[in-house]
Amino acid sequence: MKLRRWLAAGAVAVATVAALNVTPATAGRPYDPAAQSLRDLAIRHGLYVGTAVDMAVLNDAADPRYRELTASEFSTVTAENVMKWESLEPTRGSYNWGPADELVAFARQHNQRVRGHVLVWQNQLPSWLTSGVENGSISKAELRQILRNHITNVVTHFKGRIWQWDVVNEAVSDPWDNPSTLHYKGFWAQHLGPDYIADAFRWARAADPKALLFYNDYNIEAFGSGNPANDKTQFVYDMARDLLAKRVPIDGVGSQGHLGTQYGNYDTLQVAAALKKFAGLGLATAFTEVDVRSQLTAGVQAGDSAEINPRLQASAANFSVLLRACLAERHCLSFTLWGFTDRHSWVPGWFSNPPEGLATVYDENYQPKRAYQEIKADLIFAGPPYVLPRAVQTPRR
Ligand code: XIL
């Protein structure tokens, strides 16, 4: 909806409510925003709210609530694993499209958009590829050709059905890596040099001119020192600026948003300022993998509410920081959770020493947690003048 129409509609609604001194009602029932889904509340702002989807759980007939909530609460979905290279091409030359196609069909059926995840990443690569490079049977020239074919095949397969592609994921090191000066890390940089990033965006654009092409990473929620040698957000910002200067077709930067309550984290205004800075380059932004984990101390595991409550509250506050910052920036197009229930979250399996969990917005029994209520409240109470409808983002040629 156009901004003026949106404001006008709001003004009419306010005037009507004022005149009648009642809340808006549908079919005789009082209007209750808390009874709306996240997706319905978000779309009033033009914002898409999403989740990563585990296809095995989606198809588990013994766990129907997962499928119901995936459909009812979210307007965009991401494959948690089934679009990764090891899943799509476990054997060289033979693609397994089944589970990814199923997710795309599910999304279409439920009027959802799809974030494609992921074309180029150093993790979850098929072993035929990594071992071939290791033992020298795949040369550098061949590796580049293999990457080009992969991007072309995958983007072509899903052409017209992917809203945003994570073209390159997690290409930048962290300050705790060795060497600590930030640099391009991992398999692709090591074997092809950093130019693979520009190539990947160009190949993706050639295969689907309509998808929005994203760079995606973690620990880029806010700017720090401003020195790209140790400020990862600055490093990524400079990278995006340089790609744009070379006319590389990058449309957006995805901030994963994996937070933990044990860390310092950021406030809403810091995160909003970062999103605004990326928008200043002409880029869209998105939160792509949001979860807020906590340490599962002995007390937490024993059910001690004095230990559990502050974690649930801190988690809710951090979800809210990211969502409000996104709402406040018109080029922040979507807010995707990396799973929505503690029953199926990657956190306990991945962060086990010390054990971590409680990272999502529904508990293990699909009861909404405080985090769910807070992000719902954020969607309800947001509006002009600071929260405006999303900007229109068209793919860069
Ligand atoms: C994770 C999945 O959630 C796990 O199921 C899998 O075992 C490992 O990968 N950053 C990303 C995601 O970009 O693809 C990762 O997903 C989480 C971190």
55-105 pLDDT per residue, tens: 999 999 999 999 999 999 999 999 999 999 999 999 999 999 999 999 999
Residue 18 lies in a domain: no
17-49 pLDDT per residue, tens: 344 444 555 567 788 999 999 999 999 999 999
The pocket around ligand 1, CB under 6 angstroms, is made up of 80-81, 169, 256, 289, 346
Q: Whose CA is nearest to atom 16 of ligand 1?
A: 80
CATH number at residue 102: 3.20.20.80
Tokens read off for 355? 């054990």
pLDDT number for residue 150: 98
Residue 62 lies in a domain: yes
Of the residues 170, 221, 356, 374, which is catalytic? Answer: 170
For the chain, 397 residues long, give each residue's pLDDT as a single digit of tens: 444 554 444 444 444 434 444 455 556 778 899 999 999 999 999 999 999 999 999 999 999 999 999 999 999 999 999 999 999 999 999 999 999 999 999 999 999 999 999 999 999 999 999 999 999 999 999 999 999 999 999 999 999 999 999 999 999 999 999 999 999 999 999 999 999 999 999 999 999 999 999 999 999 999 999 999 999 999 999 999 999 999 999 999 999 999 999 999 999 999 999 999 999 999 999 999 999 999 999 999 999 999 999 999 999 999 999 999 999 999 999 999 999 999 999 999 999 999 999 999 999 999 999 999 999 999 999 999 999 999 999 999 8
* Cβ partners under 8 Å of residue 141, min gap 6: none
pLDDT number for residue 31: 87
Residue 19 lies in a domain: no
Q: Which of 289, 336, 337 to mutate to test the pocket of ligand 1 (most atoms within 8 A of CB)?
A: 289
Spacing, Cα 338 to ligand 1 middle (Å):
8
- Secondary structure, 3-state, 117-167: EEEECCCCCCHHHHHHHHCCCCCHHHHHHHHHHHHHHHHHHCCCCCCEEEE
Spacing, Cα 80 to ligand 1 middle (Å):
6
DSSP H helical ranges for the chain: 3-20, 38-43, 55-58, 64-73, 85-88, 98-109, 127-134, 140-157, 186-192, 196-207, 232-245, 268-280, 298-301, 305-328, 347-350, 370-381
- pTM assigned to the model: 0.93
Spacing, Cα 78 to ligand 1 middle (Å):
11
Residue 9 lies in a domain: no
Question: What is the extent of the structural domain holding 100?
Answer: 36-381
Q: How many domains does the chain have?
A: 1
Residue 53 lies in a domain: yes
Q: Whose CA is nearest to atom 5 of ligand 1?
A: 346
Residue 29 lies in a domain: no
Amino acid in the structure at residue 135:
N
- Among residues 240, 102, 228, the alpha carbon closest in space to that of 167 is found at 240
Give the atom of ligand 1 at the shortest distance from the alpha carbon of 54. Answer: 5
The strand pairing partners of 213, in sequence order, are 165
Residue 117 lies in a domain: yes
- Among residues 184, 217, 216, 213, the alpha carbon closest in space to that of 200 is found at 213
Of the residues 80, 289, 329, 374, which is catalytic? Answer: 289
Tokens read off for 3? 């901004």
- Secondary structure, 3-state, 254-297: EECCEEECCCCCCCHHHHHHHHHHHHHCCCEEEEEEEEEEEECC
Residue 59 lies in a domain: yes
Give the atom of ligand 1 at the shortest distance from the alpha carbon of 258. Answer: 18
